[in-house]
A and B are shown apart, each in its own frame.
Chain A
Amino acid sequence: MASTLISAKLPPDVDPTKAPIAFGRRALPKLNREIQSPEVLTQQRALMALCDLVHDPENIYQAVQIGFLENLKILLLHHDSTVRQKTTEILYILAMHNVGRQGLIQNAVIPVLTELLDDPEDICRKNTHQVFDMMAKLPEGAVDILRAGLTPLLVLKLKTESDEIQELILGTLSNCLRVEASEALATDAITILKEKLTHPSVTIRSKAAQVILEIGTHPEGKTTVCEEVIPLLVSLLEDTDPEVQASAAGALMFATIKPKGRCLALRAEAIPRLLKLVAEENSRARLSAIKTLTMLAEVAEGRRKLLEHTDTFQQCLRDPSEAVKRAAEIAIRVIQWKPF
């Protein structure tokens, strides 16, 4: 006997929460119009559909061309949390592609996103920080973030946010501080980062060490890092996770450039730990450890201690990576340098 249902299962793509997509090139303009409609439901449905479409880079390009970003900027400040959440998600997916990133920079979306840092919804904040993280990986994006004055805000947020978001913030900060560190130092970032160095989570520790590394590339940062953080970093060299070790070795590499830092590091017994890191064959910290030992070898005490261990560096000369070989040669040369 026939029944009115054609099949027991529903057709695969009927999702009542999404707006129906027009065919081909008309899809995005139609969604653009729907987004501007006064009804919240239409806006939400359009955003859901858009979210799926932007996984395709061609759609991203078209969206940026049409001028989607202006409307999305307006929607960022909408009163409805779903709208905000979906908008931030779309911006995150846009930021994952180069075209999208360029579009975000050109349309000055970042200052508007700053408003969302205090959003009551967790997921909105998380998406916002993900957008910042992605943007910071691009040099122009990092400059943009710095110009929007986000660094002090982000440093303050480190104290209050959850772990996931902290990881994202630390990633953003490390890329931004590579360009310019003075603002962060003004807001006393080093104290906060010192706490994070002893956090139970591995990712947070390694990322915090990365941030300290980037601060140390600047001269004014080096002094601050020298004074406060070196003993902690030396203790992190013996951490269980190789990521943390690599980041800590990198941070030490920059901190020991100044003579004061070198003395502090020597006093904190950095040399045996660094030698252990160098001796491991596949360690990612190898390059940084060799460089740090080179710095320490500039001091007479360090040279004395390292003269006994030159065979470790000889071993490094056989490493497949070109950079490690060069670093090992330089290290051997510095260790065997005599003042006369």
Chain B
Amino acid sequence: MLPALRPPPPAASALPYTYCSPPRAVPARPKYRAPLEADEPVKEAARWANLMYDRRVVRGNTYARQAVPMCIHHPSVFEIQRQREARRKALARKRAEEQIQLRTPEPVEGREHVHVQTELYLEEISDRIIEVDVECQTDAFLDRPPTPFFVPAKTGRDVATQIEEGELFDFDIEVKPILEVLIGKTIEQALLEVMEEEELARLWAHQRAYAELRNAELAEVQRLEEQDRRYREEKERCKQLQMQMLQKEKETMEKIAAQAFAKRYLADLIPSVFNNLHESGFFYDPIERDIETEFLPWLMTEVEETLEKKTLGRVMLDSLIRTVTEKRLDVFSQKPLPDQTEALAEEHMPTDSEPQVAAETEAADQAVKADEETDQPPDEEQASRHITFQLEEADQEEMEDSETD
């Protein structure tokens, strides 16, 4: 509503006048709402509108106007219905009072009045009027369409130029390097990072597989080493045992051999010892010994004596014979030579027979030893005496030699 205009106070007063609400002209209401996508709220609300064309101003007679409700209160449907009902009820009351007289008589006993419709087509009567609501609505107000593009009036001459496709540049060809660089760089970076990770992942997987294999092989190697070590130790031990056994066998065999040999070697030790002792005279027959030690020396001495006697006799005889022959020689020395040569021949003959005689005497006197000096038949030749004595000495030496043998 238009604010009441206060007349300005007359004359001057000390205070300048101020309005509670300063008067202002009502700005025009725009026909259309402001579009929603405006950047800024529209500052100026259009120009001041013309009062004559303002819809809010009442037109026509103001003195003969119908009563306009003060409040613009649109009653709801329900309220409208209630008002109408109230009016109807008032009317019905009025009519009911009128129609009391026009009532039909009371029904007979046992019967009832029933209102019946007698038309052809029955009607349903009800207080309530059948109502059907029909609505009608105008379309929602449209938003203001955007201002059409202002095309100023054409001035000047039209000149047209047209660049056909392919004249300036071939987009497909030109865009390629740019695209390549763009996409290339992006993909390069992405590839780098992906490659890094992939490379690493593959390396680790490869390394792990390799490590597994390597560990397995290493374990195998060590196991075989261990096995080998065990076998070797076993072998060594067996070998040692074997060698010891062999050693023992050898010793035993040697011992047995030595024992057998010693047995055999010493088998005839005792007999030989006894033999030797026997031979060296340890076991002697006492009688024999007795005979040997006593009897025989006595016998020998007796024999010696006897032989000495014999020898003595022979020596005596020899000396006798010598004396005799010396004498004869002296006698004969006065004789001529042929006797000498015959004496020489006779000397030779007895000298020849002497070894035989010596041999005979040796043989004969083998049993009787000792100092038999001569057993030759005494030589009667004096000339031969020296030679015979020499020969006798030689023969005696021979005999002594043979005896001492």
Contact = CB atoms under 8 A, between A and B. Distances in A.
Interface of A: 1, 55-57, 96-97, 137, 213, 217, 246, 250, 253-254, 257-259, 284, 287-288, 291, 294-295, 298, 323, 327, 330
Given A257-B226, A288-B212, A96 B220 contact: no
B215 A250 contact: yes
Nearest to A298: B227
Contacts of A291: 216, 219-220, 223
B219 A295 contact: yes
B91 interface: no
A253 B219 contact: yes
Contact of B192 (A55, A254, A323): A55
Contact of A330 (B196, B215, B218, B220): B220
Interface string B222-255: 1100110010000000000000000000000000
B192 to A, nearest CB: 6
B339 interface: no
B201 to A, nearest CB: 12
A96 B200 contact: yes
Contact of B223 (A96, A284, A294): A294
B213 interface: yes
The residue in B196, B207, B230 that gathers the most chain A C-beta atoms within 10 A of its C-beta is B196
Contacts of B222: 217, 254, 257
A28 B184 CA distance: 22
B193 A253 contact: no
Contacts of A288: 212, 215-216
A197 B230 CA distance: 32
Contact of B213 (A1, A253, A323): A323
A258 B229 CA distance: 11
A298 B223 contact: yes
Contacts of B215: 213, 217, 250, 253-254, 288
A335 B108 CA distance: 127
A145 B278 CA distance: 101
8 contacts: A55-B189, A55-B193, A137-B204, A250-B215, A288-B212, A291-B220, A323-B216, A327-B216
Contact of A55 (B39, B196, B212, B219): B196
A149 B192 CA distance: 35
A135 B218 CA distance: 23
A89 to B, nearest CB: 14
Contacts of B212: 246, 250, 284, 287-288
A257 B216 contact: no
A57 B196 CA distance: 9
Given A250-B212, A254-B215, 12 more contacts: A55-B189, A96-B196, A97-B196, A217-B215, A217-B218, A253-B216, A254-B219, A257-B222, A258-B226, A291-B220, A291-B223, A294-B223
A294 B223 CA distance: 9
A217 B221 CA distance: 11
Nearest to B203: A137
A30 to B, nearest CB: 20
Contacts of A246: 212
A295 B219 CA distance: 9
Contacts of B220: 291, 294, 327, 330
Nearest to B226: A257
A204 B364 CA distance: 133
Name the residue in B216, B219, B220 with the highest tally of chain A Cβ atoms < 10 Å from its Cβ. B219
Interface string B32-67: 000000010000000000000000000000000000
Contact of A137 (B39, B207, B226): B207
B43 to A, nearest CB: 13
Contacts of B226: 257-259, 298
Contacts of A55: 189, 192-193, 196
Nearest to A324: B216
Interface centre among B39, B212, B215 (most CB of A within 10 A): B215
Contacts of A97: 196
Nearest to B188: A56
B219 to A, nearest CB: 5
A213 B212 CA distance: 11
A156 B227 CA distance: 37
Nearest to A251: B215
Nearest to B195: A57
Nearest to A222: B222
A253 B192 CA distance: 40
